[in-house]
Amino acid sequence: MQVIVFNGFQWDIVCDRGFYPTLALVLLGLGGLVGYYVFGNIQDSLGRRPAFFIYLLIQCVFGVATGFAFDFWSWLITRIGVGFTVPAITGTPLVLALELVGPSQRTLCTVLLNIAYSLCLMGLAVVAYMFRGWRDLAFATVLPFITFFSFWWILPESPRWLFAHGKLEETEKILRQIAHINGKILPADYGKTLQEKYTAAKGPGDQEQEDYSILDLLKGPVLRRNTLIITFLWFINLGVYVGLSYYAPVLGGDEYLNFFLAGLAEMPTYLFLLPCLDNWGRRWTLSTSMVIGGVACVCTILVQQEAWVTLTLYCIGKFGISAAFVAVQQMASEIYPTVVRGRGVSFSNVVGMIGPAFVPLVNYTGQEYLYLPLLTLGGLMVVGGVTALALPETLGRSLPQTLMDAEEFRMDCSAESCCPGMYSKDKFRQKQSKETIEEGDGTLDILLLHPPQTSLLSERKSSTASPRSSIQISQPSSSHKRVFAPAVSPKTMNYN
């Protein structure tokens, strides 16, 4: 995240031009809106890995150029360029990470990524305090992004994406590397096994669709409904999150300390999220977080004369929206199918970026009425919290691979799905995996439930394999044509 602050007197941005900084924030957000749409298509067509480095290069170029801006308008152009890549540079690594782990590790993976983001916010407050000149701050904030180019030699492509696009040789190569690291042994003819699964999933005479678009998100009734709900929630979460972050310095006191505390307030969120997402479920965690945070923000109108109470309620609101933002990201990545996951997340983020683009206008109203922005943002959170209950529960479910898989993610009103915290984690996950098995939806979830004691090679050769063995259930039923993703290690990988 790059934030550049400069003295408005340098370019005479005062009086009737005092609105210019707010305009810059709006245009930076609009740049991200356009950029994430573009890069969403790139990551689904070219792959997660090349897309990441393409917009990393763009961000570094514009980030360095910011420090050489000679007037407000040249500075504004460079900030729009940076904003063009900001959402994508955090979104694509999340998609790639979730495609590299199994259901039991997805929550931890999402939480760790957001912990890193919160630590960066706190670090940004320290860096901004140390580098008071905006040019120095521009160079200081772009330096970490330049170091990311060293990841070129270690960052793998998503095997799930490779498999879904029929790149079986590359899939096998990466899976063998992962299997080696995990101490597993793949059979010598594993490439043939991948080809059989891919061919079986397409079906005889069936030509798998190669080119997908955003319109595919709206074709099926279930996926269309889930897409619209997720996008609405993303709009609220992203807008409120950015709005509260921008609002921290105007609460009074030291602006650097307030920004630091706003990042620090997110850290307890993750201690709360880890057990809740995996035991209480994604849906109720998302809904409850938004409602609690929203009510706290609305209540600031009742204590306008107590600065410390206002700051406390603000931190509770920041806590709630931080938890909700993690949950909605995870639910989006778990509901969108692999073939359009990048486009789906990008579409939701693009629409969501409308919120951050115009939230500076909401905060601008705080110049006349200090608590009006908190009241507005809090009301949006409460509305979003209620809407979140209409999503299906994804706890323990396999990631959908195809558009057909995504149509099975209907809202479940059973007691286990509505209140999974009332049931044991194992019972709920076994129920979800049982549904997956009956639908012929993959292999590795069974390994996650029943870790093998031998290598995959010996398991494959066994002629007395249990009916619950991943090899025995890997073939799809005739009524369900699916693209299977291969099983490698029950510890770190799951492709279903």
Is the whole-model pTM more than 0.75?
no
Please write down the HEC assignment for all residues of 70-117: CCHHHHHHHHHHHHCCHHHHHHHHHHHHHCCCCHHHHHHHHHHHHHHH
pLDDT digits (tens, 9 = 90+) for 92-107: 888 888 888 877 787 7
Alpha-carbon gap, residue 295 to 59, rounded angstroms:
37
pLDDT digits (tens, 9 = 90+) for 28-48: 777 777 776 777 778 878 888
- Domains in the chain: ranges and CATH: 8-155+216-390 (1.20.1250.20), 158-201+442-489 (no CATH)
Q: Is the pLDDT of residue 243 over 80?
A: yes
Alpha carbon distances (Å) from 326 to 259, 282, 288, 303, 336: 20, 10, 13, 29, 16
Q: Is the pLDDT of residue 321 over 70?
A: yes
Alpha-carbon gap, residue 432 to 327, rounded angstroms:
19
Taking alpha carbons only, the member of 232, 220, 216 closest to residue 391 is 232
Higher pLDDT, 75 or 409: 75
Q: What is the pLDDT of residue 198?
A: 77
Q: Is the pLDDT of residue 329 over 70?
A: yes
Q: Is the pLDDT of residue 66 over 70?
A: yes
Report the mean per-residue pLDDT for the chain. 74
Q: What is the pLDDT of residue 412?
A: 63
Q: What is the pLDDT of residue 113?
A: 85
Is the CB of residue 46 less than 8 Å from the CB of residue 165?
A: no
Task: Give the Cβ contact number of residue 103 at 10 Å.
Answer: 25
Q: What is the CA radius of gyration of the chain?
A: 24
Confidence of residue 385 (pLDDT cuts 50, 70, 90): very high
pLDDT digits (tens, 9 = 90+) for 125-151: 999 999 988 889 999 999 999 999 999
* Helices first, then strands: H and E counts in the chain: 22, 0
> Which range among 159-163, 196-200, 221-225 has the greatest average pLDDT?
221-225
Alpha-carbon gap, residue 266 to 211, rounded angstroms:
39
Q: Is the pLDDT of residue 294 over 70?
A: yes
Q: Is the pLDDT of residue 240 over 70?
A: yes
List alpha helices for 248-335, DSSP H.
255-264, 267-275, 282-298, 307-335
Q: What is the pLDDT of residue 451?
A: 34
Instruction: Give percent of the chain above pLDDT 90.
Output: 13
